[in-house]
Amino acid sequence: MRIAVMGAGSTGGFFGGMLARGGNDVSLIARGAHLETIRANGLKVVRDDEEFAVRCQATDDPAEVGHVDLALLCVKTYQNEVAIPLMQPLVGPDTTVLCLQNGVDSYLRAADVLGESNVLPGAAFIEAGVLGPGSVRQTGSLVRIILGETNGVETPRCLAIRDAFLGSGVPAEVLLDIRAGQWEKFLFISTMAGVTSMARATLAELMPQTHWRKVVLACLAEIDAVARASGVNLPANIVGDIVSSIEEHLADLQASMHTDLMAGRPLELDALNGAVVRAGREAGVATPVNDVIYAMLKGYQEGSRVDGRNTEQS
């Protein structure tokens, strides 16, 4: 399969590297020192039990790649206004754009620009980071891709994409109710990202503390209520299952929004806790926990030091 990865950082770099090693024709869209190192030395992927390097086309200009079978949208959501229009040279009549971004409605922006019929909603479950230019690391056992058509039909393109991931060693699943699958991840990631960013601490540090554990549980319950009021068919015990998963994987859990906050980078606040507030307003459900998270982090959304003073972003 001919594949382009828009945003070959931690998540995009890992999946792009796995797909390339699996025999697919992969092009990585990156920039800066990361791009130059990939061009010179290939992309290095480090995992808990292995590391490998792949050589594939790398560029900052999607026009050099042309139409592909599959384009993975992996940039941070706050980069969409610039990144999504740049993807247009990748998209032909038979191209599928799989949105693997955080949030439950992020794919709609891509659909507006690149065509509703071309874009598939999905989600990536992964703990990953950039070690340095040209090098990404994936940690822990939680790696999974979900995808599906919005109309609930299991189409040949979904199965082909799933098989490309599976054939490259990446667990992947086509869901008939992709909305429910997205909200399951969203419930977890919005809680982890919002609470850990607000507290300036990881879940491993917070969960043993009774007062912070109550905040985590309240945030999960609040998002669960918003989802159900919005007509999302979540499993009955989803909150309990997520809490069990959190406790099982505590050592590996690190929210990228927390990492970005501490590094002074922009935040995906509107795609996460901001989306909870918007959905709650539309569904008529109060969201006091997420209102507080959103208010406390709003001043850092464009990037700032943790003391709250703005700093320039390179």
Q: Write out pLDDT tens, residues 75-110.
A: 999 999 999 999 999 999 999 999 999 999 899 999
Q: Which three-class secondary structure string do you get for 210-241?
A: HHHHHHHHHHHHHHHHHHHHCCCCCCCCHHHH
CB atoms < 10 A from the CB of 246, how many?
18
Domains of the chain in start order, with CATH, are 2-176 (3.40.50.720), 179-300 (1.10.1040.10)
Decide if 119 contacts 97 (C-beta within 8 A).
yes
pLDDT above 90 for 311: no
pLDDT above 60 for 214: yes
pLDDT above 80 for 305: no
pLDDT band, residue 74 (cuts 50/70/90): very high
Alpha carbon separation from 35 to 18, 52, 76, 299 (Å, rounded): 18, 17, 17, 31
Q: What is the mean pLDDT of residues 33-59?
A: 96
Q: What is the pTM of this model?
A: 0.90
pLDDT at 306: 47
pLDDT at 71: 98
Decide if 222 contacts 288 (C-beta within 8 A).
yes
Q: Which two tokens stand for residue 135?
A: 């090098």
pLDDT at 142: 84
Average pLDDT, the chain: 94
Of 73-82, 223-232, 303-312, give the lowest mean pLDDT range: 303-312
Decide if 161 contacts 70 (C-beta within 8 A).
yes
**Ranges of H-type helices in the chain:** 10-21, 32-41, 80-86, 107-114, 156-166, 178-199, 203-206, 210-229, 238-248, 256-263, 273-283, 288-297
Instruction: Return the half-sphere exposure (C-beta side, CA atoms, 13 A cut-off) of residue 237.
Output: 5
pLDDT band, residue 70 (cuts 50/70/90): very high
Find tokens 């991931």 and name the residue: 165
Cα–Cα distance, 144 to 274 (Å, whole number): 25
Q: Which two tokens stand for residue 30?
A: 């990156």
pLDDT tens digit sequence for 118-164 = 999 999 999 898 999 999 999 888 899 999 999 999 999 999 999 99
pLDDT above 50 for 168: yes
pLDDT at 127: 86
Cα–Cα distance, 168 to 162 (Å, whole number): 10
pLDDT band, residue 307 (cuts 50/70/90): very low
Decide if 268 contacts 293 (C-beta within 8 A).
no
Residue percentage of the chain with pLDDT more than 70: 97
Residue 1 CA to its chain's centroid (Å) = 22
**Ranges of H-type helices in 95-148:** 107-114
pLDDT band, residue 308 (cuts 50/70/90): very low
Terminus-to-terminus CA distance in the chain, angstroms? 34
Cα angle for residues 22, 26, 31 (degrees, 5° grid): 130
Q: Which residues of 212-240 are buried (b: 16+ CB within 10 A; e: fewer)?
A: beebbbebbebbbbbbeebebebeeebbe
pLDDT at 204: 94
Decide if 285 contacts 277 (C-beta within 8 A).
no
Cα–Cα distance, 286 to 283 (Å, whole number): 9
